[in-house]
């Protein structure tokens, strides 16, 4: 078994698709491998934009050979056009992971925020600051899509390792808070109406 897990995190989007790769060792220490943003012009044809996102994700997989792919799960938003583009980019990311034979998972924004900050409603600046701290970076990754991609990768690596199967070792306070919140969410039963 490898001593570390390499995860490609993807913050899906058509205008900006965040791509971040981290290595997480058995002690849950994370190291930055790659971070970037695939950009497409908003006035380009939809098919061309999706092809550009696909090319960017494929290039990251070919160059860095991740063990797994994690994609932020799409949530309904008021702006239907934005959510459609995000959903389409998400589908492209999952398709490319499958074509590459890589296990893929999706994580909700609140799961990701809780995993890296200990608080499921953290704002973008809090996530960026924690990513810089966790990865021992001099400055937070910019733009926010890049930091979000790294957060998604970390969430997945820590979640997979929470059982001890991948990384072994104790949970950090943020990981413990996230695991507790996830446990509560799984056991919550909605009241009958």
Q: Is 67 a catalytic residue?
A: no
Binding-site entries for Mg(2+) = 11, 72, 145
Q: Are 111 and 120 in contact (CB under 8 A)?
A: yes
Cα separation, 44 vs 41, in Å, equals 6
148 part of the active site: no
- Residue 43 designated active-site: no
Backbone angles phi and psi of 137, in degrees to 5:
-100, 150
Q: Which candidate in 23, 62, 63, 145 is catalytic?
A: 145
Q: How many residues does the chain have?
A: 193
Pairing assessment for the beta strands 16-25 and 30-39 based on DSSP bridges: antiparallel
Determine the Cα–Cα distance for residues 156 and 136; give it in Å rounded to an integer: 19
Annotated binding residues: 11, 72, 145
Q: What is the 3-state secondary structure (H, E, C) of 20-50?
A: EEEEEECCCCEEEEEEEEEECCCCCCHHHHH
Helix runs in 30-172, H state only:
46-64, 80-99, 109-117, 124-134, 144-161
Token duo for residue 81: 């056009």
Catalytic residue among 23, 72, 111, 148: 72
The residues carrying an active-site annotation are 11, 72, 145
């Amino acid at each position: 078994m490898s001593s570390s897990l390499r995860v490609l995190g993807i913050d899906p989007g058509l205008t900006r698709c965040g791509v971040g790769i981290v290595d997480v060792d058995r002690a849950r220490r994370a190291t930055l491998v790659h971070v970037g943003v695939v950009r497409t012009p908003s006035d380009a044809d939809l098919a061309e934009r999706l092809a550009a996102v696909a090319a960017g994700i494929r290039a990251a997989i070919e160059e860095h050979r991740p063990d797994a792919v994690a994609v932020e799960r799409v949530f309904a938003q008021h702006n239907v056009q934005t959510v459609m583009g995000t959903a389409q980019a998400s589908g492209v990311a999952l398709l490319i992971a499958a074509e590459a034979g890589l296990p893929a998972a999706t994580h909700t924004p609140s799961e990701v925020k809780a995993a890296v900050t200990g608080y499921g409603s953290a704002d973008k600046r809090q996530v960026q600051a924690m990513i810089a701290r966790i990865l021992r970076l001099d400055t937070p990754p910019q733009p926010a899509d890049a930091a979000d991609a790294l957060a998604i990768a970390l969430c997945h690596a820590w979640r997979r390792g929470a059982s001890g199967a991948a990384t072994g070792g104790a949970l950090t306070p943020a990981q413990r808070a996230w695991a507790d919140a996830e446990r509560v969410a799984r056991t919550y039963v909605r009241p009958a109406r």
